[in-house]
Chain A
Amino acid sequence: MRIPSPRAFRRARTPDVPLEVRLEVPPVAESPGPEVIAWARGLVKVYGSGQTAVRALDGVDVDFGRAEMTAIMGPSGSGKSTLMHCMAGLDSVTSGNVTVDGEVVSRMRERALTTLRRTRLGFVFQAFNLVPTLTAEENITLPLDIARRPVDREYFDSVVDAVGLRDRLGHRPSELSGGQQQRVACARALVARPAVVFADEPTGNLDSRSSAEVLGFLRHSVDELGQSVVMVTHDPTAASYAHRVLFLADGRLVGELRSPTPAKILAALGQLTGATTKAGPATEADADTAGPGSERVAGTGS
C-alpha cells in the first residue's frame, strides 16, 4: 500500500480564476439508509445557561457517509469541535438525536459511551494524542488492550506499513516528530477497525509535508480499507482530501461541497463570509497559513 502523494492531488487543483460555487444544504432523509454511517437530527448544544448561555449548535441535521471522508469547515467558534464531540459521545447534547453505526449515542450512559468509544470510534486530536509513557506500538494497540481484544496482527501490520512506522514502533512519543506522532495517532484510530474515525484538526500543528502524509493516509484508509472518516479542519488544502466538505457557521450547517478542490473551498468560504475571496492557487506556503487566514476572513465578515 502506498501513500498517495500530495502531487496527485495538486494536479486536480484549479486555475487562477475565482470560482463561482453554488452553496446549498441538501435535505436529509428522516431515517437515512445504509450509505450513512452516522447522523444527527435537530442537534442543539447549549453551553451554560441564562445570560451567558452559548448556542454552540443550533439545530444541525447532518449525515456522514459510509466509507466516505467528510471534512467540516467553518470559522473559529462556529461549532465544529462541538459537533464532533456530540457525534462521538464525548459531550452530551442539549436536544436532538445522534446515531452512530446504528447506536443512539445521544441516549447513552457513560458506561455504554465508554464501550462505544473503545470499540466503534477512533479519535485523532490536534495534539497530545499519545500517552507519553507508552511506545508507539503500545499506543497503537491501546484501544484493543483497553477492550482486552486480541490484536489482529495482519491488520496491525498493514496499518503500520501504511503509515510507514515500522522502524519506529519501539520509540516513545518524545522520540518521534510531530508528523510521526500524528501518524501513530491515526494508526491507533484505525487499528480497532472503528465504524467512524473522528479527527479534530489532525494536521493543525503540522508542516505541509507531514500534513500531506497524514491526510493521504486517512484518505487511503477510506479508499482502500472502506473506513469512514470525519475531519475538522481550517485548511482548504486539507479539506480537499475529503469526498465532501460541510460548512458550519454560528452552529448551523450552511453549505456543502462534493469533490472539493482547494480553490472551490476558498471560493465557498469567501462566499459564506460575504467577502471577496482573494483568488490564487493554494500553494504549499499558503496551506500552512490557511488556518489563521480563514479566521481572518470570518472575522472581517461578521
Chain B
Amino acid sequence: MLRVALRGIRAHSVQFALSVLAVLLGVSFVAGTFSLRAMLSDTFGAIISTTVQGDAYLRGAEESASAPQIGQERGSRTRIPLGLAETVRSVDGVSLALPELGGPIVLVGADGTAVANGQAPSFGTGLDPRDPGATVVAGRLPAAAGEVALESATAQTSGLAVGDETKAVIAGVVTPVVVVGEVDLGAPSAGATLVFIDPATAQELYAPDGLVSSIVVYADEGVSEKDLVTSLSSALTAAGADVGPAGAQAVTGDQARAEATASVNDVLGFIGTFLLVFAGISLFVGAFIIANTFAMSVRQRQREFALLRAVGASPRQVFVSVIAQAAVVGLVGSALGLLAGIGLVAVLRAVLARMGMDLSGGIPIEPETVAISIATGTVVSIVAAAVPARRAAVIPPVEAMRDDVATEDRSLRVRAAAGSVSLVGGILAVFLATDDRVTSAGTWLGVGAAATLVGILLLAPAMVRVALAILAGPFVAMFRPLGRLARGNVTRNPRRTANTASALLVGMALVGATTVLAATAQASTRTIVESESTADFIVQSATRDVPPDAVAAITALGSVGRADVMSFAAAQVSGPDHSQPTGTTLAGITDGAFGATLDVVVIEGSVADLPGGVAVQRSTADAQGWAVGDILTVTTDTMTVELPVRAVIDSRILPAPLVLPASTLAELVPDVQRSINAVLVNAADGVDEETLRGDLTAAVAPFVVLSVQTNEELATSLADQVDRILVILYALLGLSIVIAVLGIVNTLALAVIERTREIGLLRAVGLGRVQLAGTITIESVLTALFGTVVGVTVGVALASALPFVFDDVGLSTLAVPWPQVIGMVVLAVVVGILAALWPGARAARLPVLQAIAQE
C-alpha cells in the first residue's frame, strides 16, 4: 500500500508540488522565527557575558517603585550610594569595585546628525581604566571631560575617527567632545550606539545625587563568587556603612547574568510570540491548500481507490495510504521550509548588518527548531488530509465499475449550521465586548472575532452560490460567454471554491482589520492631539527625553509666552482605604497649563486648583472607585505623600492614570528618574507662529534630536510612525496572501486537469486559447474576489468594534480607510489574474484532441 501511495505522489506531482510549497512557506516562517530568536538570544548572550563580567554586584535591596518595564533591567531597583564602591574595596577578597555609571547620550556623527540605528538605544558609559571588559583598539581611553571613546561598530556607523571633534548630549547637557579612542567590547553591539567617557565626568552627569544602580565587584584570584558575596553582605550590614535610602544587597555575578539573560529572553519571547502568530496564520492558511489538494486528488482518483477496495484493500489501508502521502508532503515541505527559514534569517542578518546592526556570527540551528518545524509542517499536513482520506476510505468498491464518477457532494447543512452557531455566538461576544460594563472586554472581543471568523469559514460554501451570482454579474454581462462559463465553474463545487477562497479570506480579513486599526489609531491620535493640545508648538525628542537644558533654553526665549513641561515618573499609589499600593505612572504638568496649552475633558471637579492635589483619569477612577475629595497615598523611592483628588479628567494626551502639578512631581521624584516627554509652547503676545518656530528651532538645534512641530505636524508624524509599524505587519500578512494565491493556482491547476474533457469540447466547438485562458482567469478572479470581499467585510466589521472596546486606551475615533479597502478589492483582481496565469496557460496548451480522447 505504501508503494501505491508513493506512486500516487509521483503520478500527481504537480498537485503535490504545490502542497509542498504551501507547507514550505508556512514552515519557513516557523523555522525563521525560531532561528531568528536563537540568533538574537546568542547575540544578547554574548553581550551579557562580555558586559556583565563582574564576580559580584551590589545593588538596591528593593524593587524600585517604578514599575519594571519589559527589557529594562536597569532602574528597576532602588539605587545605592556610589561611595559603597570605596567601602567594599577594603573587604577581603575584593580586588576591584567600580560603580556602574551610565545613561542616555546623543552622539553627533560625522554628518552632523545624531547617530542612531532605528530604535536601538544609545548609551553613554563611564569607563574606568581598570575595567577588564574593554580593549582599546585605537587611541586611548577618555581621561578628562570632553573626551570620548567609541565602541568599534559605533565608530563605524558614526563615521568618526580618533582625533575628530564633535558634539554629544550627555545626560541632557550639550558638550563639545573629541574622540580619543576606539574600544572593542568583544561582542556584537546589536545596533546600540555605545560611547565611553571618563568616570569622573560620568559620575558628575549620570549620578549627580551620588546614587547609582549598581556596583560591579571583581574578586581576588582564587576567591569564589559565593565567598565574595558572603563577605560583601557582611560588609554591607556592618555598622556605619551607608547603604542608601532603601538598602543594598550583594549578588553573585552568575545571578546578575542569569537575571539579565532572563529579561532579554522576555523581550525575545515577546518578539517570538508575535512572529509565531503570523507563522501560525500562514500554516492555517496553508492547511486549507493542503486539505483542498487532497480533497481534489481523492476525488479524481475515486476510481483508483474503489479499485483498490475491490481488489481487497481495507478502508483502513486506503485511509493510511492517503495519510502517508500527506506525511510525505508534510515532511518534504517541512524540510525545505526549514532550509528556507534559515535562509530567510541569513538574508535578514545580512540586511541588518548593512544597516549597521551587527548580530552574532552564525545562525544557530538548534535541534528544537528542527524538531518543531518538521513536526508542525507534518502534523498540519496530516490533519488537513484527514477528512479527504476518510472520504477516500469509505468509497464503495462498486464505484470502480461506475462509468461516470459523479460524486455526491455531501450536504452542507451540518457545516452551515455549525457555522451559523459560531457566527451568531461570535457576533454576540463582540457586542458584549463593546458594552462598557463588561470586564476583560479585550478577551471577549478576541474570542468573538475568532468565533465570527470560524463561523464565516464554515458558512463559506453555503455563501458561494449567492455571493458569486452577484459578484459574477458584471463578468457574465461583459464577457459573453466566458463569464457564464466561469461562473458555472466556480459555483459547481461550492465547497472547493469556498476552501480555496478561505485561505485568502483569512489573510484579507486580517489585512482589512489591520488597515482599520491603523486608520483608527491615526485618526484617534489626530483627534487627541488636535482636541487636547492648544499649544502652538510641541517640542519632543527622538530619544523620548527632552533634556532639562533644552527646556531652559526654550523658556528663556523672548518669543515664548508659555512653555509647559509634560514629564513622567513611576510611583506606587494606594486609595483612601490604604489598600496594597500598586505601580502607576505620574504625569507632571506645569501649573497653569490647563486652559493655556492643554484642554482636557474634566468629568468632575476642576483642574484649575490642581496644586497640592492630583487629577485622576476617568478609567482609573472608575476602576478604583475614586472620586473627587478622596485622599490618595503616593509613594516614590524617596518619599510618601498624601494628595487629595481634585479632578477626574478624561485625557488621552496624558498617558498616565494620575496627573499632578510639575512642582509636586519634582518634589516627589529626583530629576534623574523623571523624564520630560514634551514641551508645549505658546507664543508670546504679538509674536507670529513663524517667528516662534524659527526661534524654537534655533534653540533646540544643539540638542540634535529635538523636533519642533505644530499639532498638525505632530499628528502626521505620529501617523507616519503607525505606518512604519504597519509596513512590517503588511509584510508578515503578505506571506499569508502569497500562500493563498498559491492555493488558487493549485485549485485551478487541479480543476483544469479534472475538466480536460470539457475543455476539449469547448475548444472543439470553437473556444479560442485566449478565450479559454480568459475563462480560467475570470474563474480565478471570482474566487479571489469572493475571498477578499467576504474577508475584508469581516475584518473591517470586526475592527470597527475596536473604538467601542478600546476607547479608554486612546482608540476613540473609528476610521475606515475606504481607499485601502477598495485597493484590496483591486488587489484581489490582480491576485486572481496572477494566479490564473499558469493554470490558464496549461489549459490553453492542452491539445484539443487529447482533451477529447482523454479517458
Contact = CB atoms under 8 A, between A and B. Distances in A.
Interface residues of B, number: 25
Nearest to A148: B480
B488 A134 contact: yes
A142 B481 contact: yes
B655 interface: no
A188 to B, nearest CB: 7
Contacts of B487: 133
Contacts of A118: 765-768
B778 to A, nearest CB: 13
Contacts, number: 74
A133 B766 contact: no
A133 B761 CA distance: 13
Interface stretch (A123-131, A238-246, A251-259, A278-286): A123-131
A119 B769 CA distance: 16
Interface in A163-182: 174
Residue among B406, B762, B763 with most chain A CB within 10 A: B763
A114 B758 contact: no
Contact of A91 (B481, B761, B767, B849): B849
Contacts of B729: none
B514 interface: no
Contacts of B848: 90
B481 A133 contact: no
A90 B769 contact: no
Interface string A116-155: 0111010101001111111000100011011110000000
B409 to A, nearest CB: 13
B491 A133 contact: yes
A107 interface: no
A111 interface: yes
Given A131-B488, A133-B485, A123 B758 contact: no
A178 to B, nearest CB: 11
Chain B at the A interface: mostly helix, strand, loop or mixed?
helix
A13 interface: no
B423 to A, nearest CB: 29
Contacts of A90: 764, 848-849, 852
Residue among A85, A111, A130, A131 with most chain B CB within 10 A: A131
B485 A114 contact: no
A258 to B, nearest CB: 30
A163 B615 CA distance: 89
A119 B766 CA distance: 8
Contact of B771 (A130, A131, A146): A146
B492 A133 contact: yes
A284 B435 CA distance: 79
A146 B483 CA distance: 11
Contacts of B488: 131-134
A114 B849 contact: no
B489 interface: yes
A131 B764 contact: no
B484 interface: yes
Interface string B476-515: 0000110011011101100000000000000000000000
A110 interface: yes
A115 interface: yes
Nearest to A115: B766
B757 interface: yes
Contacts of A114: 763, 766-769
Nearest to A113: B848
A146 B757 contact: no
Residue among B406, B758, B764, B765 with most chain A CB within 10 A: B765
A111 B770 CA distance: 10
Interface string B95-109: 000000000000000
A146 B766 CA distance: 7
Contacts of B766: 114-115, 117-119, 121, 143, 146-147
Contacts of A148: 480
Contacts of A110: 769
A143 B757 contact: no
B849 A117 contact: no
A137 to B, nearest CB: 11
A30 to B, nearest CB: 29
B761 A132 contact: no
Contacts of A117: 763-766
B674 to A, nearest CB: 72
A121 B763 CA distance: 12
B783 to A, nearest CB: 15
A131 B762 contact: yes
Contacts of B480: 145, 148
Contact of A131 (B761, B769, B849): B761
A125 B765 CA distance: 11
A143 B764 CA distance: 10
Residue among B492, B764, B769 with most chain A CB within 10 A: B764
Contacts of B492: 132-133
Nearest to B853: A81
A130 B485 CA distance: 12
A123 B485 contact: no
B761 A128 contact: yes
Interface in B766-780: 766-769, 771
Given A110-B769, A111-B768, A188-B765, A128 B757 contact: yes
B481 A125 contact: no
Contact of B758 (A115, A128, A174): A128
Nearest to B488: A133
A143 B485 CA distance: 13
A18 B74 CA distance: 113
Nearest to A126: B852
B481 A123 contact: no
Contacts of B485: 131, 133-134
Contacts of A130: 761
B542 to A, nearest CB: 61
A122 to B, nearest CB: 8
B763 A133 contact: no
A93 B768 CA distance: 20
B650 to A, nearest CB: 59
Interface in A84-106: 85, 90-91
A174 B488 CA distance: 14
A156 to B, nearest CB: 15
A114 B765 CA distance: 8
A129 B758 CA distance: 8
A117 B492 CA distance: 27
A184 to B, nearest CB: 12
Interface in B593-635: none
Contacts of B481: 134, 138, 142, 145-146
Interface string B437-479: 0000000000000000000000000000000000000000000
A118 B772 CA distance: 13
A170 to B, nearest CB: 14
Contacts of A133: 485, 487-489, 491-492
A112 B758 CA distance: 21
A145 B762 CA distance: 12
A85 B761 contact: no
B757 A85 contact: no
A248 to B, nearest CB: 18
Given A111-B768, A125-B764, A146-B766, 11 more contacts: A91-B849, A114-B766, A118-B768, A131-B488, A131-B758, A131-B761, A133-B487, A133-B492, A138-B484, A145-B484, A146-B767
Interface of B: 406, 480-481, 484-485, 487-489, 491-492, 757-758, 761-769, 771, 848-849, 852
21 contacts: A85-B849, A90-B852, A111-B768, A114-B763, A114-B767, A115-B768, A117-B766, A123-B765, A125-B761, A125-B852, A128-B758, A131-B762, A134-B481, A134-B485, A142-B481, A145-B480, A145-B481, A146-B766, A146-B768, A146-B771, A148-B480
Top 7 A-B pairs, shortest CB-CB distance: A133-B488, A118-B766, A145-B481, A117-B766, A114-B768, A143-B765, A146-B766
Interface of A: 85, 90-91, 110-111, 114-115, 117-119, 121, 123, 125, 128-134, 138, 142-143, 145-148, 174, 188
